[in-house]
């Protein structure tokens, strides 16, 4: 079975967002074993210096690397990543699945992003938009798009 792991900095606080994530994880159950790993972001003061931010990102990178495991495909979510349509994302994931890559790790950084070490590990750098989204909402959006990708593969009406 296909494995999907989402490593996310930060915890979902709002009940409605947790419920939305749970719903998409349930829907994905027919296609993939899905796991979400929540990591604590490094706490920074009100106006951190760039050095403090860099140190925090490096600390987070070390924690992230320990959780990646043996994924075939690492996908980092970053603003400078490539923007895919839903159909293009489906084609990219499907191509990798058909070539034997059955394990995906999506990485969502903290509010300061991801350290370059993590971005360098990426097989795919993915951006949903040049807009900024709340990290908690973004997790729901990512799960929905992964689910949509599988539904596109089925030819289901969900995508229309």
* Count of CB atoms situated within 10 Å of the CB of 8: 24
Q: How far is CA 32 from the centre of its chain?
A: 15
User: In this predicted model, what pLDDT tens digit does every residue of 6-28 receive, in sequence order?
Assistant: 999 999 999 999 999 999 999 99
The dihedral over CA atoms of 118, 124, 128, 129, expressed in degrees to the nearest 10, equals 80
Within the chain, residue ranges assigned H as helices are: 15-28, 50-68, 86-98, 116-121, 135-154
User: In this predicted model, what pLDDT tens digit does every residue of 114-154 receive, in sequence order?
Assistant: 999 999 999 999 999 988 888 889 999 999 999 999 999 99
What pLDDT is stored for residue 70 in this prediction? 83
159 pLDDT higher than 70 = no
Q: Which domains does the chain have, with CATH numbers?
A: 2-42+52-153 (3.40.1280.10)
Determine the Cα–Cα distance for residues 149 and 159; give it in Å rounded to an integer.
8
Q: The tokens of 87 are what?
A: 């159909």
Lowest-pLDDT choice from 25-34, 55-64, 69-78, 151-160: 151-160
* Residue listed under structure tokens 């191509």: 95
Q: Mean of the pLDDT values across residues 59-71?
A: 93
160 pLDDT higher than 80 = no
């Amino acid at each position: 079975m296909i494995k999907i792991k989402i490593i996310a900095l930060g915890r979902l606080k709002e009940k409605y967002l947790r419920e939305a994530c749970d719903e998409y994880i349930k829907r994905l159950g027919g296609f993939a074993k899905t796991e979400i790993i929540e990591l604590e972001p490094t706490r920074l003061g009100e106006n951190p210096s760039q050095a403090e931010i860099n140190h925090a990102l490096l600390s987070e990178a070390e924690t992230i690397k320990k959780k990646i495991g043996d994924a075939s495909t690492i996908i980092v979510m970053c603003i400078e990543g490539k923007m895919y349509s839903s159909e293009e994302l489906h084609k990219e994931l499907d191509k990798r699945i058909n070539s034997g890559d059955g394990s995906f790790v999506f990485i969502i950084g903290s509010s300061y992003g991801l350290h370059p070490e993590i971005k360098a590990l990426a097989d795919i750098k993915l951006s949903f938009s040049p807009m900024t989204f709340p990290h908690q909402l973004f997790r729901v959006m990512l799960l929905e798009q992964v689910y949509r990708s599988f539904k596109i593969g089925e030819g289901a009406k969900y995508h229309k």
